[in-house]
Each structure stands twice: as C-alpha cells, then as structure tokens.
C-alpha cells in the first residue's frame, strides 16, 4: 500500500518492514553481546513502554538470547500529532527493580521528555543500570542528556505511524512505517 488514511489524515509509505527488521537484527546483536553475562539469578529487565513499543519489544524478544524478565509501564505525552510536554503516568513502573539492570524499550524518542521521566524514576527505584533501547529517534528534536544506548533507526522531524506507533490510537497494526503526507 502506497498510502493509508487514519482519522482525517493521509500517510505515505516511508520505511518498509524489511528495513525495520534489519535494523532490529543489528540492535539485538549488540544487546546479545552486552548482556551475555546475565544469569537466571540476575536477569535483565526488559521494560516495554506501552503501547507504542509492543511490536519492537516483541521483535527484540524473538532475537535476544540472554535471561530476561519482561515488564511494562505506560507513560504518555502525545496528543494527536504533537507532544504536550507533560508526561502522564498511566501504568506505573514496576516497583521491585532495586539492583536490576534495566533496558528501557521505547518506540520513538522525540523531545525526550518521556525518557527523562523514566530514567529519573528508575534512579529513585535504585536500579543498578538503566539503558535506553529505542526503535527510532528524531535527532533534530532530541535535546536531553540521557544517552540513547541502542538506536535502531533515525528519522527526520516528521509525524510517523505504523509498527506500533499511532495517530490517536490508530495505525499501530500497520507493518511498515508511514509518514504524514502534507
């Protein structure tokens, strides 16, 4: 499909699924090296940020081989096609993370407000290590100090949907990434 319409907007094909999956292969390979020393007694915590990161998290789960525990939380800052700047907690972070190595799995880092809020909370929970693994980043927009340890792909400052990302909740189930056609 070259174009899709969601609500009142039209989007055009931007990144085909095969390209996304190849980028995920590379990230998973790096994670497998960096977390090879995890054990059943000391597993990594894969912290999936709902809802956008579900597909990325699932694709990672199919590829990573070290012991891990899957957790989820839900923070939100977007309404329609732009960030509100206020990060709301809809499903709180899991409470017992003290001493754990946490991998935050994000769909996209834009202003970075979400990732800053999450890493702050993880510090309060006394995790041993927290790293960010994101499918996408809008480098032109991101201006925070939190290091993005694992980035599958960089995208320009355009509104995109698909592969878990939504426009007012629609479009998450599109397997390629589409960009707003304006």
Annotated catalytic residues are 110
Please give the structure tokens belonging to residue 90. 């809809």
Q: Which stretch binds ligand IMP (CB under 6 A): 12-20, 26-34, 104-112, 119-127?
A: 104-112
CA angle, 141 then 34 then 17, to 5°: 55
Q: Which of 44, 108, 174, 177 binds ligand IMP (CB under 6 A)?
A: 108
Of 51, 46, 93, 90, the residue nearest 70 (C-alpha): 46
Q: Is 107 in the site for ligand IMP (CB under 6 A)?
A: yes
One of 50, 83, 125, 146 touching ligand IMP (CB under 6 A): 83
Q: Does the footprint of Mg ion cover residue 159 (CB under 5 A)?
A: no
Smallest distance, Å, CB 75 to Mg ion?
10
Q: Minimum distance between the CB of residue 77 and Mg ion, rounded to whole angstroms?
A: 8
DSSP H stretches of helix in the chain: 17-34, 54-61, 113-124
Q: Which of 160, 163, 174, 177 binds ligand IMP (CB under 6 A)?
A: 160
Q: Looking at 4, 11, 48, 110, which residue binds ligand IMP (CB under 6 A)?
A: 110
78 makes contact with Mg ion (CB under 5 A): yes
> Could you tell me if 127 and 155 are in contact, meaning their C-beta atoms sit under 8 angstroms apart?
no
């Amino acid at each position: 499909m070259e174009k899709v319409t969601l609500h009142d907007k039209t989007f055009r094909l931007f990144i085909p699924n095969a390209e996304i999956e190849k980028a995920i292969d590379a990230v998973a390979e790096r994670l497998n090296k960096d977390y090879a020393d995890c054990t059943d007694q000391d597993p990594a915590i894969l912290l999936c940020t709902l809802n956008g990161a579900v597909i990325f998290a699932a694709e990672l789960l199919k590829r990573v081989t070290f012991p891990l525990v899957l957790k989820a939380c839900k923070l939100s800052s977007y309404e329609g096609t732009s960030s509100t700047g206020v990060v709301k907690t809809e499903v709180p972070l899991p409470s017992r993370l003290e001493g754990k190595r946490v991998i935050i799995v994000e769909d996209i880092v834009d202003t970075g407000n979400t990732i800053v809020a999450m890493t702050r909370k993880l510090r309060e929970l006394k995790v041993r290590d927290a790293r960010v693994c994101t499918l996408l980043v809008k480098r032109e927009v991101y201006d925070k100090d939190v290091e993005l340890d694992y980035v599958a792909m960089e995208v320009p400052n355009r509104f995109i949907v698909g592969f878990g990302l939504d426009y007012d909740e629609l479009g998450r189930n599109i397997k390629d990434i589409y960009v707003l056609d304006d």
